[in-house]
């Protein structure tokens, strides 16, 4: 038998080693995890998704280096999606049936994602939007996060006649934020501050033995649509109205910060041991992006510029595909093959079991409904049976009986079909833009979807624990802010040096 020359033998060993490393299972590998989630961006406003005006070179680069889930589905609005990420189950089963009026509070009975990751030895941090309860027991520093730099309510400056309210008088520039339970004054633009806070924390903890979970949750591009002038000028020069320029400018600012994040992860040599995930919380807003079919302004050539939503029907708040489909990019250099698209339906409820599997953490009993996406991420011939995903807009009037709204504002989705209310069925494979109602052609499909949804609803209704909650007579962030002012003032947050 002939033997290989030493150089060829060495090459063969190296190749075999690299292949075995690539094939090494991801479950229990305990990487660092960085999850970036934007607010109201939706699927369309990403360069690689064909958007005609915005420039997102860093998101495009992340897209190129990631596995992409092209049918990733979330809730029609923000707090519901965030509760699903934190628990692995449907938002309404967390008590989250609205975004305000005490119905945004995630049940205290749930075990949260950071708590599960901490059980596997992780250190955890949140930077930006929480929106799952502003009363103290519901706050993130009480629910598994070691580090928390957040605003209140569902957005900076928001305040409602309930507990859901941000620090008084807050603006997108120089906001007062809550840092590990105390208020701090800041200098700068909100999105820049949240990424800076996350990077400073990562820089502190990266030398330790524990892997980290950084949850960077921007309030941008949620309205009001305010971005740094350097990000809006290009759009106003193109002829866009002020609101749209603000919306698109906020996204380009997010892109700059994603670039800054990736640059530092590379500089710190963390990319080979860090999973980076990018997503949005619901479909594209109809505010700064305009209503579909209506002009956003006129180009220098005098032609109307229409909103772009990747050909989908529906915007934020809708149970159509455009209201719930978002980007979902997963990057891990050297461990996940980039440039792969998965068109199997996946959802917000799947993130929790996916990250828990990566961490080697045990799932809480009888809570998680989603599936780990690792079999798809790892490639190969993963067994992936079809399933139904359920959507409901919620947001019925306070005090109303939810059962009266069971058959209004809902959708059921499987790989091929989307049933919207009791009125329309769409073949999403043949008709992704939902232009042709085929409900009369598939009565058996409609019957099965309705029956499954009815079973799901009857189990879900008792878990809507906030429906009879009284409105809080106080706004906790306002009360705590006033108390801290009286006790000694609001200190300036020390922006970390990177």
List the catalytic residue out of 49, 51, 78, 342.
Answer: 78
Distance CA 246, CA 228 (A): 8
Cβ proximity of 425 and 438 under 8 Å: yes
Q: How is 60-106 classified by DSSP, letter by letter?
A: HHHHHTSEEETTEE--SSHHHHHHHHHHSS-GGGGT--SSSTTTT--
**348 included as an active-site residue:** no
Domains and CATH numbers, the chain: 27-377 (3.40.720.10), 389-463 (3.30.1120.10)
Q: Which H or E run includes 278?
A: strand 274-280
Q: Which stretches of the chain score pLDDT less than 70?
A: 1-23, 380
Structure token pair of residue 136:
């103290």
Structure token pair of residue 185:
């004054």
User: Could you give the 3-state DSSP secondary structure of residue 92?
Assistant: helix
Q: How far is CA 458 from CA 92, 129, 132, 382, 406, in A?
A: 12, 31, 24, 32, 9
**190 included as an active-site residue:** no
pLDDT digits (tens, 9 = 90+) for 289-339: 888 878 887 777 777 888 899 999 999 999 999 999 999 999 999 999 999
Structure token pair of residue 54:
């915005």
Residue 37: predicted pLDDT: 98
Residue 93: predicted pLDDT: 98
Residue 23: predicted pLDDT: 54
List the catalytic residue out of 49, 90, 131, 342.
Answer: 131
Residue 293: predicted pLDDT: 77
Cis-peptide into 221, omega within 30 deg: yes
Angle between helices 229-238 and 242-267 (to 10 degrees): 130
- pTM metric for this prediction: 0.94
Query: How many CB atoms neighbour CB 180 within 10 A?
Result: 14
């Amino acid at each position: 038998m002939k033997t290989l020359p030493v150089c060829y033998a060495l090459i063969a060993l190296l190749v075999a080693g690299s292949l075995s490393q690539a094939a090494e299972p991801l479950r229990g590998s305990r990487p660092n995890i960085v999850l970036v989630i934007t607010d109201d961006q939706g699927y369309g406003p990403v360069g690689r998704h064909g958007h005609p005006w915005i420039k997102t070179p860093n998101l495009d680069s992340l897209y190129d280096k990631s596995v992409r889930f092209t049918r990733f589905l979330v809730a029609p609005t923000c707090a519901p999606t965030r509760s699903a990420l934190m628990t692995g189950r449907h938002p309404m089963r967390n008590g989250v049936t609205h975004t305000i009026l005490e119905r945004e509070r995630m049940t205290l009975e749930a075990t949260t994602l950071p708590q599960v990751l901490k059980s596997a030895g992780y250190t955890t941090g949140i930077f930006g939007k929480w929106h799952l309860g502003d009363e103290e027991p519901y706050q993130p520093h009480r629910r598994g996060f070691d580090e928390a730099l957040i605003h209140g309510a569902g957005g900076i400056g928001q305040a409602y006649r309930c507990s859901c309210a941000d620090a008084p008088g807050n603006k997108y520039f120089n906001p007062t934020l809550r840092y590990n339970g105390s208020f701090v004054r800041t200098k700068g633009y909100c999105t820049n501050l949240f990424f800076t806070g996350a990077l400073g924390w990562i820089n502190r903890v990266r030398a330790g033995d524990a892997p980290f979970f950084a949850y960077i949750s921007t309030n941008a591009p949620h309205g009001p649509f305010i971005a740094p002038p350097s990000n809006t000028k290009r759009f106003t020069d193109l002829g866009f109205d002020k609101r749209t320029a603000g919306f698109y400018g906020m996204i380009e600012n997010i892109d700059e910060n994603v670039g800054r994040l990736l640059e530092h992860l590379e500089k710190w040599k963390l990319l080979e041991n860090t999973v980076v995930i990018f997503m949005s919380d619901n479909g594209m807003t109809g505010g700064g992006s305009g209503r579909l079919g209506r002009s956003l302004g006129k180009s220098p050539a005098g032609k109307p510029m229409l909103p772009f939503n990747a050909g989908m029907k529906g915007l934020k708040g809708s149970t159509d595909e455009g209201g719930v489909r978002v980007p979902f990019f997963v990057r891990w250099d050297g461990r996940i093959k980039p440039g792969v698209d998965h068109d199997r339906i996946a959802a917000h409820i799947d993130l929790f079991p996916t990250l828990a599997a990566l961490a080697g953490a045990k799932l809480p009993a009888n809570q998680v409904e989603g599936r780990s996406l690792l079999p798809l991420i790892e490639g190969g011939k993963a067994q992936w049976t079809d399933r139904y995903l359920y959507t409901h807009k919620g947001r019925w009037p306070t005090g109303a009986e939810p059962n009266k709204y069971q058959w209004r504002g809902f959708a059921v989705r499987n790989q091929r079909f989307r049933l919207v209310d009791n009125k329309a069925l769409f073949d999403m494979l043949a008709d992704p833009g939902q232009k042709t109602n085929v409900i009369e052609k598939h009565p058996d499909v409609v019957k099965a979807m309705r029956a499954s949804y009815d079973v799901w609803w009857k189990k879900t209704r008792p878990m809507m624990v906030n429906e009879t909650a009284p409105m809080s007579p106080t706004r906790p962030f306002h009360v705590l802010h006033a108390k801290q002012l009286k006790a000694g003032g609001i200190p300036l947050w020390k922006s970390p040096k990177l």
